[in-house]
Amino acid sequence: MNDKKKLIAANWKMNGDLAANEALLHAILAGIGDAACDLALAVPAPYLAQVQALTAGTVLALAAQDVSQHEAGAYTGEVSAAMLRDFGVRYTLVGHSERRQYHGETDQVVAQKAQRALAAGLTPIVCVGETLQEREAGQTEAVVRRQLAAVIQRNGHCISEVALAYEPVWAIGTGHTASPAQAQAVHAVLRAQLRAASAQAGRIRLLYGGSLNAANAAPLLAQPDIDGGLVGGASLKAPDFLAIIAAAHGAAVIASGVGKE
């Protein structure tokens, strides 16, 4: 049975402004009720202070979209894990495919970033996933295993402190979603790899991300190895994000057996 609390994380990407952020947060907070899952918002770095202030004392945790692999020093433009912690950040995305693709982040850099986050007491949400070309070439398993292996190799002793997001690149922002069976199959591969690395692997949350929306969230979140979602586009619309949270709540209720005779 999957008895972990689900984690739903929003990735705002490079969207928003002061007024729009405030309106979105008010709408989310007004509709959220008693969230049965953990919730995080990965917001652009300049808005961390604003979102920290507007979410203080609420169920919404603060997340960053990236973190430097360096601790401090002459790295112009970078944001360190300690700086994120100063703003109450609890989670940070690491190795999002847009960082890998547009900023040349290698598996090793991603592993270093996860290490920096962990050292500062942040939970890295490590993103892995294959491109369409790799899937069509039958390389999905090899690619995600390679990406995860680098993170395990560098962080083996505390690997159970990370969260992992399986985000097939072909599903991000495209409207194409992995089917529940496709996503579960990859999550099972990742879980097995984590189990081989850590006796605590069962507590690691594996999120699915890739065009998750109000209509497709429930069956994905009901899969045994899917412990939550990483939500891009749909997290910018309060009703859609709230519907995904409600789907996670429903999946948690089903997993706990509440309501069964």
User: Mind telling me the catalytic residues?
Assistant: 96, 167
- C-alpha atoms less than 13 angstroms from C-alpha of 177 in its C-beta half-sphere: 23
- Smallest distance, ligand PEP to C-beta of residue 165, A: 7
- Smallest distance, ligand PEP to C-beta of residue 100, A: 12
Asked if residue 15 belongs to a known ligand binding site, the reply is: no
Burial of 149 (0-12, 13-18, 19+ CB in 10 A): middle
Q: How far apart are CA 163 and CA 260, in angstroms?
A: 30
Nearest to 146 by CA among 123, 128, 131, 159: 128
Q: Which residues of this chain interact with ligand PEP, rule CB under 6 A?
A: 11, 13, 167, 172-173, 209-212, 230-234
Q: How many CB atoms lie within 10 A of CB 3?
A: 10
Q: How many CB atoms lie within 10 A of CB 185?
A: 15
- Smallest distance, ligand PEP to C-beta of residue 164, A: 13
- Smallest distance, ligand PEP to C-beta of residue 119, A: 24
Residue 36, both tokens: 């049965």
Asked if residue 12 belongs to a known ligand binding site, the reply is: yes
Asked if residue 256 belongs to a known ligand binding site, the reply is: no
Name every residue whose Cβ is closer than 8 Å to that of residue 126 and which is 6 or more positions away in sequence: 94, 95, 110, 114, 148, 151, 162, 163, 164, 165
Query: Which residue number places its CB atom closest to ligand PEP?
Result: 232
In this complex, which beta carbon is closest to ligand PEP, that of residue 65 or of residue 155? 65
In this complex, which beta carbon is closest to ligand PEP, that of residue 111 or of residue 210? 210
Asked if residue 211 belongs to a known ligand binding site, the reply is: yes
In this complex, which beta carbon is closest to ligand PEP, that of residue 63 or of residue 197? 63
Asked if residue 73 belongs to a known ligand binding site, the reply is: no
- Smallest distance, ligand PEP to C-beta of residue 96, A: 6
Burial of 221 (0-12, 13-18, 19+ CB in 10 A): buried
In this complex, which beta carbon is closest to ligand PEP, that of residue 198 or of residue 213? 213
In this complex, which beta carbon is closest to ligand PEP, that of residue 184 or of residue 211? 211
Asked if residue 173 belongs to a known ligand binding site, the reply is: yes
φ/ψ of 177, rounded to 5, equals -115, 145
Indicate the DSSP class of residue 2: -
Helix, coil or strand: residue 173: coil
Q: Which residues are annotated as a binding site for substrate?
A: 11-13, 173, 211, 232-233
Q: Which residues are annotated as a binding site?
A: 11-13, 173, 211, 232-233
